[in-house]
Amino acid sequence: MNLATLDDKTVAVAAPAEAAVGVPLALLVANPRNPREALGDLSDLQSIVKRQLQPCLVVSAKGYLALWPEDAEKVGDAQYVVVNGCRRLAAARKFGRTDLLVVHDESVASSRGELLGAAVDENIGRQDFDIIEEARAVDAVVAEYSSTREAAKARGWTHGWISQRRALLKLSPAMQAALRAGDLAVRDARRLARVPAEEQVAVWRAEQEAAERRKKEEAERRKLATQQPAPAPASEPEADSVVTAVTTSADGSDPSTGDEGSSSVVTAVTTEEEGRGVPAPRQDAPLASGGEAGAAIAQEGRAFDRSGLPWADPEAFHALLLREMRLENRVELTKLLIASNTAAREAASSS
């Protein structure tokens, strides 16, 4: 290190980015412009007594006082001002370490904005860095430049991020306290910052009450939904239900014509289905023969009333089947229709 004299005291002046060296604590002072108002609990740094994992960044007292001569009393007899590592310095003093490893980089003291920005950069993103402290530090850095845009370019920050942080300083003291305590989310704080300070508390409370009402209403809706009775299962046909038959030709013609060349499809209809609108069978009506299934039913002597069924309207008949016939029966009916139509086509082509 190079030596220089400041007010009859010997101080070290170093070129940028020197290697880390050990310096007695008596020659070090914490940055009077540290953006952190409180250092918090230092117990996580107790191991610094045995090992220092990261050196501190320092500038000479002379270089610091050239920027802020009004801080001479705070700097005192120290030769170095710790820019980054104030918590490590405090922990070393608290737990009995006698020196600290430091890196002396005088370029950090090239301007107020540079030194303040370096102090802020170390703390940004740390969980224990108070967000209002961060906002104030960012505002102090920007104040050292001619514009927000110039500050953003110099520090590598975005213009939007700077604006968001500085907006938090427009919060009333009560809202800043709520933000620091974690009762107010940052996104809500930025929105409230656009409200006049004297109205912020009232607006925030109104929003909280509205959110609570919505929460209760949603809980009530969920409760009512769980109390709704479950839909009744589809009733199965009774074992002793009377089974009748409905026969239609596969080509859609009226089976009453008795066309020998047409195939028939048989649909089972229970007495329960009769009560839902399917015409009841009449025992004295003859059953048209058509296909093996139709002939088998005819031999058993079962019959049905053809009147009232939409034989000439396939769409209406389809709707009736969807309403009255179970899924597995409709599947079977489809197979029968395909088979009978295929047989009818083959018979027609061979004749």
Residue 80 to residue 78: CA distance in whole angstroms: 6
- Give the tens place of pLDDT for each residue, 95-145: 999 999 999 999 999 999 999 999 988 877 665 678 898 899 999 999 999
List Cβ neighbours of 310 (8 Å cut-off, separation of 6 or more). 316, 317, 320
- Give the tens place of pLDDT for each residue, 190-212: 999 999 989 999 999 998 888 88
Contact 88, 24 (CB under 8 A): no
**Exposure string (b/e) for 87-112, b if CB count within 10 Å is 16 or more?**
bbbbbbeeeebeebbbbbbbebbeeb
Contact 269, 263 (CB under 8 A): no
Mind giving me the DSSP string for 232-283?
PPPPPPPTTPPPEEEEEETTS--GGG--TT--EEEEEE-HHHHTTTPPPP-T
Mind giving me the DSSP string for 155-223?
HT--HHHHHHHHHGGGS-HHHHHHHHHTSS-HHHHHHHTTS-HHHHHHHHHHHHHHHHHHHHHHHHHHH
Residue with tokens 């501190």: 56
Query: What pLDDT, on the 0 to 100 scale, is given for residue 141?
Result: 92
Residue with tokens 């809980």: 219
Query: What pLDDT, on the 0 to 100 scale, is given for residue 56?
Result: 94
What's the burial of 265, exposed, middle or buried (CB within 10 Å: 0-12/13-18/19+)? buried
Query: What pLDDT, on the 0 to 100 scale, is given for residue 335?
Result: 82
Contact 81, 29 (CB under 8 A): yes
Residue 100 to residue 190: CA distance in whole angstroms: 40
Q: How would you classify the pairing of strands 99-104 and 21-24?
A: antiparallel
Residue 224 to residue 180: CA distance in whole angstroms: 39
In Å, how far are 74, 223, 224, 233, 284 from 229, measured between CA atoms?
A: 76, 12, 10, 12, 46
CA 152 to chain centre: 30
Query: What pLDDT, on the 0 to 100 scale, is given for residue 39?
Result: 81
- 218-223, Cβ contacts within 8 angstroms, sequence gap of 24 or more: none
- Give the predicted TM-score (pTM) of the model: 0.50
* 10-residue averages of pLDDT along the chain (351 residues): 41 55 94 85 89 93 95 95 93 93 94 92 74 90 92 90 92 92 90 91 90 88 77 55 44 45 43 43 40 48 60 79 82 84 79 64
Residue with tokens 């007899």: 77
Candidates 66, 40, 33, 241; CA nearest to 141 is: 33
